[in-house]
Amino acid sequence: MPTQSAQLDSPRPTTDAQLAARAVSAAKVYGEGDAAVHALRGVTVDFPTSRFTAIMGPSGSGKSTLMQCIAGLDRLTSGQAYIGDTDISGLSKQELTLLRRDRLGFIFQQYNLLPSLTAKENILLPLTLAGKHPDEAWLHEVVKTVGLTGRIDNLPSQLSGGQQQRVAVARALLPRPELIFADEPTGALDTSTGQEILSFMRRAVDERGQTIVMVTHDPHAASYADEVLFLEDGQIVDRMDSPTAERVLDRMKRFEG
């Protein structure tokens, strides 16, 4: 197992593709002494631009921790995380916040919309916080893409779960971030709505060259990605190009077995 892991953790032979993000010997430990939990045990991984990468693994494998540490939501215990060429391990809280605002997008399982803002205001939130004005044509297109035309003046409470998640996707897409992180984006949705959301994400990668990193435990969701990384016990144990739901499911079954 260790040998296999070492081999798989080595940087993927990327040719001229640029990297949107990467982690080098990323380790994360919660707690101390006997109670210490090693969530990440020295993960080295690249996320090339214009790719849709899925991170999978059983519960407690560290997949969410990996994403959170690369996204600057949490700090690594040791190792480095980069967004583009920026080493985020050395950034202050404020610098991290500004980096997230200006360069990253987020989609969460629980939609996470502000209840008092309309759909449109929620979509514009990152731009508003940055003091920027939206490109109206682009806004129109994003709204159209996610199928929210005519509903953008509604409050979240007046929207269905699927519609709320579309708002969240639009919010992530609108600022054209270097990288979008999605954490179980379809976890709270029914199958067909989930598929729609995943299609938007897929199209954003194909048509706009958007880079997306998605954490999921759903093999079907993972099948929309270009590549799937499998984590177990804080380490990357496998990867799969051009995944299909069946192959991912088979791989996942091996964890349980």
Partner 1 sequence: MLQIVLSSVRHNRGRYISTLLAIITGVAFFSATGIVSDRVTGALEGDAAREYRGVDLAIVPADEAGSLGDTGRTLYLDGSTIRKLAGLPGVSATAGVLTGPASFLDAKGKRFASKATGRLWVDDDELNPLTIDAGRAPTAPTEIAVDRGLAESQHLKLGQQVTVATAAGPQQSTIVGTTSFGSSDAIDEAGTISIPRSRAFTALSDGREQYEAMYLRGSAAQSALVQEAKTAVPSGFKAQTGAAFVADQAESAGELGRYIKRALQAFAILALLVGAFVIYNTFNVIIAQRMRELAVLSAIGATPKQLGRMLRAEGLVVGLVGSITGVLIAIAVTTIAIAGLNAAGVDVPGSGLALNTTNTLGAILLGTSITLLSMLAPARRAGRIEPIEAVRSAAVEPSHVSRRRALIALVLGAVGVLGFLAGSSVEIVGAAAVLLFIAPIVGSPNLVMASTRLFRPLLSRFGLEGRLAVDNVARSPRRTATTANALYVGVFLVTLVTVAGTNLRDFTVEQINKIGSADYVLTSTGATLQPQLLDRYRAIDGVRQVVGFRRSAVTIDGKASALSSGDMKAVGEVANLKTRAGSITGLKDGEIALNPRADHPRVGSTVKVVAQDGTTEELRVGAVLDPESLDTAQIGSVVTPATLERLAGPGGDTVAFLALDDGAGTATNTKIDDLAADRPDVVATEGNSLGRLIGDIFDFMIKAVNGLLMMSVVVALIGIINTLSLSILERRRELGLLRIVGMVDPLVQRMIRLEAVLIAFIGTLTGVGVGLLTGWGAIFAITRLTDANVAFSIPIGLVGVVVVTGAVLGVLASILPARRSTKASVLDALAS
Decide: is 36 part of the binding site for partner 1 (CB under 8 A).
no
Residues 17, 36, 37, 130: which binds partner 1 (CB under 8 A)? 130
Helices 161-173 and 136-145: crossing angle in degrees, nearest 10, is 140
Binding to partner 1 by CB under 8 A, coded x per residue (else -) over 146-165, reads --------------------
Decide: is 255 part of the binding site for partner 1 (CB under 8 A).
no
> Which residue number, 75 or 202, has a Cβ lying nearer to partner 1?
75
Give Cα 101 to chain centroid, integer Å. Answer: 15
> Which residue number, 8 or 98, has a Cβ lying nearer to partner 1?
98
Question: What are 82's strand-pairing partners?
Answer: 22, 87
Decide: is 31 part of the binding site for partner 1 (CB under 8 A).
no
Q: How far is the CB of 176 from partner 1 (least distance, A)?
A: 14
Phi-psi group of 16: left, alpha or beta (phi > 0 → left; psi -120 to 50 → alpha; rest → beta): alpha
Computed from CA positions of residues 59, 220, 44, 181, in that sequence, does the dihedral angle turn out positive or negative? negative
Residues 15, 94, 256, 257: which binds partner 1 (CB under 8 A)? 94
- Which residue from 156, 179, 165 is spatially nearest to 73, judged by alpha carbons? 179
Computed from CA positions of residues 95, 96, 98, 99, in that sequence, does the dihedral angle turn out positive or negative? positive
- Residues lying near partner 1 in the complex (CB under 8 A) are found at 64, 68, 73-74, 93-94, 97-98, 100-102, 106, 108-110, 112-117, 125-126, 128-130, 171, 183
